[in-house]
Amino acid sequence: MPESTDLSEIAAFGYERARDELVNVVKMLEQGGMDLDDSLALWERGEALANRCEEHLAGARKRVEDALAHRASED
């Protein structure tokens, strides 16, 4: 299993760390060989990591939109 952090700690992850760990989670799930409980725990972690990535991307999207709106208002 990847790093032994609680799901609540994922909230502090930066985008790159969450993305990289999500890639590892997907690889592990695709390999199989785990029992059901471990697979479910890993899947839950993957969901939390994916949500964290989405939060970062939404924030970046908002920053770009705000910058473009500010630039347009100056024209």
Residue 22 maps to which CATH number? 1.10.287
> Do the domain assignments include residue 1?
no
Dihedral angle over CA of 58, 63, 64, 66, nearest 10: 120
> Do the domain assignments include residue 5?
no
Amino acid identity of residue 36, one-letter, is L
Kindly give the parts of the chain with pLDDT less than 70. 1-5
> Do the domain assignments include residue 3?
no
- C-beta separation of 5 from 36 below 8 A: no
The answer to whether the predicted template modeling score (pTM) of the entire model surpasses 0.75 is yes
pLDDT at 12 (0 to 100): 96
The residue range of the domain holding 40 is 10-74
Structurally, the chain folds into a number of domains equal to 1
Sign of CA dihedral 62, 6, 2, 48: negative
pLDDT at 5 (0 to 100): 59
Q: Is 52 exposed, middle or buried (0-12, 13-18, 19+ CB in 10 A)?
A: buried
Q: What is the pLDDT of residues 38-58, one digit of tens each?
A: 999 999 999 999 999 999 999
